[in-house]
């Protein structure tokens, strides 16, 4: 499986780690640590050296209860870091935003992927993404970051998340975005209780059978606080267990804070594949949809 990121082609025949680089003041895990551009650059370089295949830069926290950050401030925070990393590294850069102005500025600065927790539903976002050649990650979120964890409810979380992502893929294709640029993310922790998150992780093979790459973001999530009773800085074991389980179920990309440890875990998975462990089956229909727009 391949992902088109601008002029680059990302080979997803092996699982990859997307390193998280927050240039924010209030992210739940590392808010404020990399707000300074030089510190952000240094951290991005360290993640690339540790094995990150992608680096995802976000200038607005999407943790529960987070305040919104306007497009101009997101651009001020993110664009200098993107330019610096593009000049320093060969690793593809992703912009984590829902705002069309930020998408455009980030792509102009050298980013080749858009990671949108709102799946291009903000006014103008779908059109802005379609004007680029960037890859796009479509994530499911119930509600908005400030209130998404107040009372999330589903009748059937797996079916509802799947239907939402199917609809967003259709919207992208109708806007002229080819399927080989799309990635799906079930949105673990975004408007979901522990039981919803576990149900989605258990059902990842169903999501993967849609024939598009799947990204999972489980790093240090609050579900591990509830499940294991661990604070944010002690959730590595839970994060790695979920990441490995997700990749064995078919996920192609793991979004992570702890890049070196995550890369080690996925190398073990890759060694198992090379030793004969059966890879998850691809949806047969996907074989006939390559290149379809």
In a domain, 99, yes or no: yes
Look up residue 214 and give its DSSP letter: B
In a domain, 293, yes or no: no
Cα distances (angstroms) measured from residue 228 to each of 63, 201, 219, 258, 262? 20, 17, 14, 18, 19
The mean pLDDT of 144-152, rounded to a whole number, is 71
In a domain, 273, yes or no: yes
In a domain, 112, yes or no: yes
By annotation, the residues acting in catalysis are 221, 255
Q: How many domains does the chain have?
A: 1
Mean residue pLDDT across the chain = 91
Q: Which domain holds residue 214?
A: 2-288
Q: What angle do CA 202, 191, 70 make, to 5 degrees?
A: 130
Give the confidence band of 29 by pLDDT, cuts at 50, 70, 90: low
Q: Where are the alpha helices (DSSP H) in 21-156?
A: 37-50, 71-88, 100-109, 125-130
pLDDT of 188: 96
Name which of 56-65, 86-95, 212-221, 254-263 the model is least confident about.
56-65
Q: Is pLDDT at 283 greater than 60 in this prediction?
A: no
Helices 100-109 and 71-88: crossing angle, nearest 10°? 20
Q: Given strand 16-22, what is the order of strands in its sheet? A: 182-185, 135-139, 113-116, 93-96, 54-58, 16-22, 253-256, 215-217
In a domain, 240, yes or no: yes
In a domain, 172, yes or no: yes
- Global pTM reads 0.90
Task: Output the domain CATH number for residue 263.
Answer: 3.20.20.20
Asked if 65 contacts 28 with a C-beta cutoff of 8 angstroms, the reply is: no
Q: Is pLDDT at 35 greater than 90 in this prediction?
A: no
Q: Which three-class secondary structure state does DSSP give residue 19?
A: strand
């Amino acid at each position: 499986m391949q992902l088109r990121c601008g002029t680059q082609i990302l080979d997803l025949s092996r699982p990859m780690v997307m390193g998280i680089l927050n240039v924010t003041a209030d992210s739940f895990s590392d808010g404020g640590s990399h707000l300074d551009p030089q510190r952000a650059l240094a951290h991005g370089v360290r993640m690339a050296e540790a094995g990150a295949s992608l680096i995802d830069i976000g200038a607005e926290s999407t943790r529960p209860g987070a305040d919104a950050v306007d497009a101009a401030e997101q651009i001020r925070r993110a664009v200098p870091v993107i330019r610096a990393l593009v000049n320093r590294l060969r690793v593809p850069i992703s912009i984590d935003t829902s705002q069309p102005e930020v998408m455009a500025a980030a792509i102009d600065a050298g980013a080749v992927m858009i990671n949108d927790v709102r799946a291009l539903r903000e006014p103008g976002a779908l059109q802005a993404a379609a004007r680029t050649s960037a890859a796009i990650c479509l994530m499911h979120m119930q509600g908005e970051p400030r209130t998404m964890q107040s009372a999330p409810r589903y009748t059937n979380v797996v079916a509802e998340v799947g239907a939402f992502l199917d609809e967003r893929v259709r919207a992208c294709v109708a806007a002229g975005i080819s399927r080989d640029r799309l990635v799906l993310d079930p949105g673990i922790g975004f408007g979901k209780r522990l039981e919803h998150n576990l149900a989605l992780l258990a059902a990842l093979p169903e999501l993967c059978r849609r024939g598009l790459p799947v990204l999972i973001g489980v790093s240090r999530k609050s579900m591990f606080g509830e499940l294991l009773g661990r604070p944010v800085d002690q959730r590595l074991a839970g994060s790695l267990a979920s990441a490995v389980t997700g990749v064995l179920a078919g996920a192609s990309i793991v979004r992570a804070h702890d890049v070196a440890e995550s890369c080690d875990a996925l190398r073990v998975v890759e060694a198992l594949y090379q030793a004969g462990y059966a890879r998850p089956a691809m949806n047969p229909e996907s074989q006939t949809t390559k290149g379809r727009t």
